Amino acid sequence: MKSIKNHLSLILALVSILFAMQTLTVTNRSIDAYKEKLKTNYSLVVVSNTKLDIKIIKKKIPLVSEVKLLKVDEAIKKIDSSMSKKNIELLKLTLPKFYKITLKKYPTPNEIETIKKKISLLGNIKQIEDFKATYDVTYKLLSLFQTIVQVFSIVVFIITSLLIVKELKIWQYKHNERMNIMGLFGAPKWLSSAVLFRLAIVDAILSSFIVYIAFSYISSSNWLSSKIKSVGIEVEVFNFTDDFPILFVAAIILSLILATTIVFGHKEEV
């Protein structure tokens, strides 16, 4: 019981930090997946009086993925099907060219402005439609969500770090006593602090596995997967090969910092 108590306080603090870290990762992953989805749906429409050189556009604006000239035939047919062939051809010649520009990634509002500026310098551009109204709301919502999660994670990290500092003082008191006694019998520093390091490493391993189990359970639950699918994206909540090593290393580093601080803060009692 005593032994469990010794471990529990550090494990709880470490689990909170790792949980916040993984939540942040999942959030970033979801936002990236959603941006990817938006990217495929998002495009700019450019209206030009003259034909544009697609190669030049791609060269001048590296963010551009594809430039497609839109066919106007269908639109003309809809206007008036009784129009003579000659008139249709004449209309085609007088109509401006419509281009659909798709991008390599979901752009920021600043990037859209830069793209528009560069396109407008290309030549005889009549109009650029960026669908800004819809786009801005979505982008701001995503940014807000990401900021909230980041702030939340930082707050969790600060509070948990404070808990760890408090825990450090308790550990310092408890381990100082043992290290002092061992020192009386000539134990070298590595031996008198070995218990502490073992405890710290065991706690780090346990914490990473607790978080792994928790996230494995969460990712297998229908509740979350249905929520993710409802927004039309697919997100891996926990990837063992990618996420576990990061969490494990973070837990080990944090607990080793704690143990090292105690060992180097130790002074022999006189």
What residue ranges bind another protein (CB under 8 A)?
2-3, 6, 177-178, 180-188, 191, 268-270
For another protein, which is the closer residue by CB, 109 or 183? 183
For another protein, which is the closer residue by CB, 123 or 265? 265
Radius of gyration of the chain from its Cα atoms, rounded to whole angstroms: 30
Paired with 103 in beta bridges are: 64
Q: How far apart are CA 254 and CA 201, in angstroms?
A: 10
For another protein, which is the closer residue by CB, 3 or 222? 3
Q: How far apart are CA 240 and CA 245, in angstroms?
A: 8
Residue 190 Cβ, how far from another protein at the closest point, in Å? 11
Q: How far apart are CA 52 and CA 48, in angstroms?
A: 8
For another protein, which is the closer residue by CB, 10 or 251? 10
Residue 187 Cβ, how far from another protein at the closest point, in Å? 5
For another protein, which is the closer residue by CB, 62 or 186? 186
For another protein, which is the closer residue by CB, 153 or 193? 193
Q: How far apart are CA 38 and CA 164, in angstroms?
A: 41
Structure tokens at 37: 């989805």
For another protein, which is the closer residue by CB, 158 or 191? 191
Helices (H), the chain: 2-41, 54-60, 73-79, 85-94, 109-120, 132-184, 189-192, 194-220, 222-230, 240-265
Residue 255 Cβ, how far from another protein at the closest point, in Å? 18
Q: How far apart are CA 45 and CA 66, in angstroms?
A: 12
Residue 207 Cβ, how far from another protein at the closest point, in Å? 21
Q: How far apart are CA 25 and CA 196, in angstroms?
A: 31
Structure tokens at 218: 């969460």
Residue 206 Cβ, how far from another protein at the closest point, in Å? 18
Residue 180 Cβ, how far from another protein at the closest point, in Å? 8
Residue 234 Cβ, how far from another protein at the closest point, in Å? 49
Q: How far apart are CA 188 and CA 103, in angstroms?
A: 63
Q: At 246, which amino acid appears? A: I
Residue 166: how many other CB atoms lie within 10 Å: 12
Q: How far apart are CA 266 and CA 262, in angstroms?
A: 6
